Every structure is written in structure tokens, then in C-alpha cells.
A and B are shown apart, each in its own frame.
Chain A
């Protein structure tokens, strides 16, 4: 059973606007969350993370929001740029566990 879910397989956004990518999780033991970006024929690259003790983490144009009560996190990209077009994966882990669990990914297309 998928413990990390990304229900939107794709998203299209105009350049300069905000992109919002969503992720839901089911395991209440998860306490560390990550977003990865993946271009074709390359490995995923780490983008930003957030610990469960926070509800927001910002890095330049990228902000991740965590709503623990809803078991939901989102990645905001502002402003969106054509180079942001990629597949985005969210991932989660629990303290004391060796594993990282990934969602199925959302393909973001930023239209110039």
C-alpha cells in the first residue's frame, strides 16, 4: 500500500506564476519529508526538506509547507520558470527507520 501519495500525475503552469505540488502520507510515524526533482535520463536530485517540528521551510523560490494534522505537504515554486519543468517526487521517512518512501511523482510543465 502506497504510504506516500501524489494524486496529480501532471501540472501545467504559466511562466512567472506559482506552481503548487501536493503530497499526502498515511504513516503518522513519518517525521522528515523531502522533495526531489528529476529530469529525463538523470537521477533524482534533492530539492528541499522539512522536519515535522516545523510547518514551513523556504529556500529561494521553493517553499515546503507541512500540515501534520492533515498528513499533507505541498511544494510551492514562485515564480515558476521553464527550467523547473521536471518530475517532482515527495518522500518521507521516520526516525529510527532506514527507509525513504517515495510518491509516484508529479510532472510539472512550465509554459513560457
Chain B
């Protein structure tokens, strides 16, 4: 299995509070991604990173920010959590962008009440 660890695995938080999810990899892969999975929507990209301090938005980035200060860590922050951000969040890593598969973490189930 690819060395990807997501933390926490489960979290319940209140509306309006900030939340940070962590993704840690031991593979030294360049690309890291945050996806959310929702019924009827599949996996949708929130943000991704193509190197330290290099990040870009995905298709559902509103309300989220990310940071990558080290190759191995990619943080996803919900500045002010809303109920619509209740979801399962997956981190993925990819060695390159050309014809390579992405490897996923175990997921973080976030509930905003």
C-alpha cells in the first residue's frame, strides 16, 4: 500500500468553526490532491498541489484552503465549516501527471452539525 496517512479519520465539528485535515505521505510524490466524495457526485477535486508551496484550485474549492510547506504534508482547511461541507474527504498522491495512477488515503469522515 502507498504510504498515505490521513488524520483525523473521523471528526464532528460545529458550524462556523475552523477545521484542518492532514494528509501525510512517505512516498515523496510530487502531486497531492484533496477530493470529497458525496452521493451522486462521485469524487470531486477540491485543491491540489504540484510541489512545495505550489497549489491550485479544483472544481469545488469555495470555502477551502490548502497549504503544503513540506513535500510530505498537505493540509486542507475549512475556514468556517458549514453543513454543506459534511462529506468524506480523500487525499491522493501521484508521482507525476503523465499516465500515472493516483493512490488514495483511507479518508476522513467530517460531519458539520
The chain A residues found within 8 Å of chain B, CB to CB, are 6, 32, 34, 36, 41-46, 49, 51, 89, 91, 93, 95-105
Contacts and interface: CB of A to CB of B under 8 A. Distances in A.
Given A34-B101, A46-B103, A102 B33 contact: no
B99 A44 contact: no
B43 to A, nearest CB: 4
Contacts of B31: 98
Interface string B49-77: 01000001010000000000000000000
Given A42-B107, A43-B90, A99-B48, A105 B42 contact: yes
Interface in B3-57: 4, 31, 33, 35, 40-45, 48, 50, 56
Which of B42, B97, B104 has the most CB atoms of chain A within a 10 A radius of its CB? B42
Given A43-B107, A44-B43, A98 B97 contact: yes
A43 B45 contact: no
A100 B102 contact: yes
Interface of B: 4, 31, 33, 35, 40-45, 48, 50, 56, 58, 90, 92, 94, 97-99, 101-107
Given A43-B104, A100-B33, 6 more contacts: A41-B107, A43-B107, A89-B43, A95-B98, A99-B48, A100-B94
B40 A104 contact: yes
**Which of A41, A42, A96, A98 has the most chain B CB atoms inside 10 A of its CB?**
A98
A12 to B, nearest CB: 19
Contacts of A96: 97
Contacts of A49: 99, 101
A46 B31 CA distance: 16
A49 B98 CA distance: 12
